[in-house]
Structure 1
Amino acid sequence: MEDTLFDLPEPRTPEQAVIAHFQLGGEDFGEPDQRALIFDAERAMTAAVGDAGVGEVDGNEFGGGEAVLYAYGSDADALFRVMEATLRALPFRPAHVVLRHGDAEDAEAVESRVEL
């Protein structure tokens, strides 16, 4: 009798998130120099998060006078620790970060807010 190997899916770790919100000047996409600072910070955090192996910085969104940065990984707290200094160094205020512990579609996911 032969042993049969089954291709069972590996258990999935819930994807947690760090979502940073920054108020920019104006009501649209902010000024070019403001967007440049956000892009520079995003590149720095992408490298730091990758080097630390805690997840990935997934991009940004501009509009309504706000910039939002998204990052995902298996531990929102560890991800935020790597990103925190760069996020706090950005000059735009008001600003806050949402740490989501659990998948976006999980009704029991816990979110906490950190003011910057």
Structure 2
Amino acid sequence: MDTLFDLPEPETPEEAVIARYRLSDDQYGSRAEREAIFAAERAMTAAVKAAGVGEVDGNEFGGGEAVLYAYGVDAAALFKVMEPTLRGLPFRPAHVVLRQGSRETESRVNL
């Protein structure tokens, strides 16, 4: 029997930064809007990686909204690195949800 697989995984709480932006139509936004989101996602991926605070996990488009997801052990530190790029996107209304510790602990930041 291989005891390596019997070791418990270390519990590292995963926190999240979830940014939501309203787009110009009720579907997927314009091509320019999608390209701006993709460019912001690339910039944040590089910044988050360089800071070592987590990972940008992707995006979702639909229903007239774009959502960006990022995860790490400290949502506040992750948001601090992402915030300049998130605030630079021109789409409004927009807000960010910081999930800290568990889904029951959330805070909202309007952009």
- Give the TM-score normalised by the residue count of structure 2: 0.92
- Give 2:88's aligned residue: 89
- Following TM superposition, the consecutive aligned residue runs of length 4 or more in structure 1 with deviations greater than 2 angstroms are 4-11
Q: How does 1:93-108 map to 2 (within 5 A)?
A: 93-104=92-103
Secondary structure (helix, strand or coil) at the match of 2:34 reads: helix
Name the residue aligned to 2:109: 114
Compared with structure 1, are the counterparts of its residues 6 and 57 closer, same or farther at alpha carbon in structure 2 (3 Å cutoff)? closer
CA distance in structure 1 between the partners assigned to 2:96 and 2:22 by the alignment: 12
Distance in 2 between residues matched to 1:10 and 1:20, nearest whole Å: 29
Unaligned runs of 5+ in 2: none
Name the TM-score, length of structure 1 as normaliser: 0.88
> What is the correspondence of 1:51-62 to structure 2 with a 5 Å cutoff?
51-62=50-61
> How many angstroms does 1:93 deviate by?
0.3
Shift of 1:6: 8.9
Sequence identity (%): 72
Instruction: Give the helix-richer structure, 1 or 2.
Output: 2
Write the mapping of 1:13-28 to structure 2, written as runs, cut at 5 A: 13-28=12-27
Q: Deviations over 1:19-66 (max 9, x none)?
A: 000000010000000000000000000000000000000000000110
| CA 70–5 in structure 1, closer or farther in 2 if over 3 Å, else same | closer
Compared with structure 1, are the counterparts of its residues 33 and 12 closer, same or farther at alpha carbon in structure 2 (3 Å cutoff)? same
What is the CA–CA distance in structure 1 between the aligned matches of 2:54 and 2:110, rounded to whole Å? Answer: 22
Query: How is 1:59-74 mapped onto 2 (pairs within 5 angstroms)?
Result: 59-74=58-73
Aligned-residue Cα RMSD (Å) equals 1.7
Q: Which has the larger radius of gyration?
A: 1
Shift of 1:5: 8.6
